[in-house]
Structure 1
């Protein structure tokens, strides 16, 4: 195969239904619970921020190892309920916009179209990166790992082992799964929270996937900054002939 199917499995496993996770008995540290609640409140009180990140996938398929690297960055304007993001892989850059609950995704490649979908969420903030990352810590084991200095600032480190339900809530709504049920193992989420402002500064999600004897490991690191900065997101007018109803084929 030109592109192993397990690459897709890893890249979207926590975004799609169909993943299973057999976790340990859950332990939740009271101090960690308090820090998480403060972080959720701080994010909900923030109108704007920027983010950037990296997704790395290493897959072994039929005794062949391959790697996929994706760079991400974007802007969130929660006050206007708008978000703009970029994703770059192998020199190809695609854009996406979220305006209220309508998502516009540039398909890229040979298809010069924008996929238009509607997101299902009672609370718009649950569609944004910082809120979605923190939501992974709402269930499963959660530990308080003391403080660490990150870019010269003191942060509180929380470490969580998300449950199947948390991963399912993290998913984006799709009409079907591409995967047929790969198994997720050793899922871990690390969140560094600014000790002074309670806002998340960095998150790291790592997990392993196995399917039909093939394995892969994915690590996604996201950095959050410029909270409360003077930013705005202008959603372009996309002509009807350039719109594709539903996800990119």
Structure 2
């Protein structure tokens, strides 16, 4: 956004896609989900945010007083693992676009300590979204999955090649995300749903409150948050 609040000219074409459209963001109180929600609101979309934790005291861009973002969207507390809740929300919302960011764990350490919950949220939560879309009378124009480069497993060489590098994630978090990734293609090819999958790597930016685990905010906190810099734990 520019200082005037208007989009730069090169991005104005986005308005035709999102202005006055109904958009669902799951996990909207998280780091990336919150930023996407803000951009959608700026583009004039009618945004519904679903999250398992919608507490007004939660550290989130959604609750930032200066943004006043929460008052501009419809907030619904729900768990993506609850198939009936997701069907009700998606069937009634008649969404043009769905952005799925909800996940149980964004870090390997949490996933290992709760493998079943991780699989239910990160795999079946996405399947529940897809099933709700498949059975809805109003089909979305796009259903977006936030995936991860962890689906490739340990990298060999200098880079990944999207259509050539094998998908071989074997950790709990990796496998749960990989299964969701596979179901994106399945529901696209078997049922014609317009799924889009983005495999993200290390993300960083403002309003990221996950300083306990995420690489860059944790490193910055260790460097600048103490009287003396703290060496990272490897």
Normalised to the residue count of structure 1, the TM-score between the two structures is: 0.25
Answer 1 or 2: higher relative contact order, Cα 8 Å, separation at least 6: 1
Normalised to the residue count of structure 2, the TM-score between the two structures is: 0.26
Q: Which one has the bigger helix percentage?
A: 2
